[in-house]
Amino acid sequence: MPIVETQQSYRLLWAQVVLQAKADLENEPIGSIIFNQAAAFFVSRGEWAESRLVVADCLDMHPDDLKRCGERWIADRRQREGLPPEPEKANRPAGARPLPRLVASPAREKIGRKARPAAGSNPFSPFREQAAAAG
């Protein structure tokens, strides 16, 4: 099978995956596992976003375009069912303050030199028994 035909076959496969997810959004009960997974494919982050990126790449689309389609299909379904639209999720709350800036500062100078502990005082030292026997 030539490479072009193989790529076209994969593209058709992923187009069918997207169409199945759309059908799940349109036909499955809202809140069911299948509906939630279809919605997660289109709008969630993490591993779902990675999957959306791969599928969008195979379809020569931008993942945000696929996300916008899913959001629109979900909103249409919610409207058809008489449910309120899902609230827009803000990326960052308006009242959030930025984290303080960390600044590197030099360490204090050490005065004097610490003596090394005796070999017998370390309970994990393999030489502890030899030091105790010699002492």
Q: Which of 5-9, 99-103, 111-115, 123-127 has the highest mean pLDDT?
A: 5-9
* 132: confidence class by pLDDT, cuts 50, 70, 90: low
What number of other Cβ atoms are within 10 A of residue 48's Cβ?
Answer: 15
Q: What is the pLDDT of residues 77-91, one digit of tens each?
A: 999 989 888 766 655
| Percent of the chain with pLDDT strictly greater than 90 | 44
Task: Please give the mean pLDDT across all residues of the chain.
Answer: 81
Check residue 120 and give its pLDDT: 57
* pTM for the predicted model, two decimal places: 0.60
Given CA atoms 117, 120, 124, 127 in this order, what sign does their dihedral have? positive
The tens digit of pLDDT for each residue in 1-43 reads 677 777 788 889 999 999 999 999 999 999 999 999 999 999 9
Four-residue CA torsion sign, 37, 39, 45, 51 = positive
pLDDT value of residue 15: 93
Domain parsing of the chain, residue ranges: 3-80
In the chain, what is the straight-line distance between the N-terminal and C-terminal CA atoms, in Å? 80
